[in-house]
Amino acid sequence: MSPEQMQQVTQRWINWITELDKAGQLADRGNRLKKAGKVVRPEGLVTDGPYVELKEAIGGFIVVKADDLDAAAAMAKGCPIFSFGGNVEVREIDVL
């Protein structure tokens, strides 16, 4: 990807997140996640990871304010990741 294309991609993300924020729907901008990680197992074993068996990986996250999962899914339809063949997973946060 050329520097110009990368700048365009970045701008699409900025625009989408800014729109959510202006609409009062953004709770946390989240962050991109690095590819490297560790998996800690119950017996104390620590391995490089996160999940070498998976075909997909979580690349980042944001937290939105929505009335329900359907509303959050509707917001996700504008996510720039779709232009790269990616998916958005929508989940409710379970407050402990």
Q: What is the per-residue pLDDT for 17?
A: 94
The string of pLDDT tens digits covering residues 11-20 is 999 999 999 9
Burial grade of 75 (CB within 10 A; 0-12, 13-18, 19 or more): buried
pLDDT tens, 10-61?
A: 899 999 999 999 999 999 988 777 877 888 888 888 888 766 566 667 778 8
Confidence label for 71 from pLDDT (cuts 50, 70 and 90): very high
**Degrees, nearest 5: CA angle 44-50-56:** 150
Residue 68 has pLDDT above 60, yes or no: yes
C-beta separation of 87 from 16 below 8 A: no
Average pLDDT over every residue of 72-92: 90
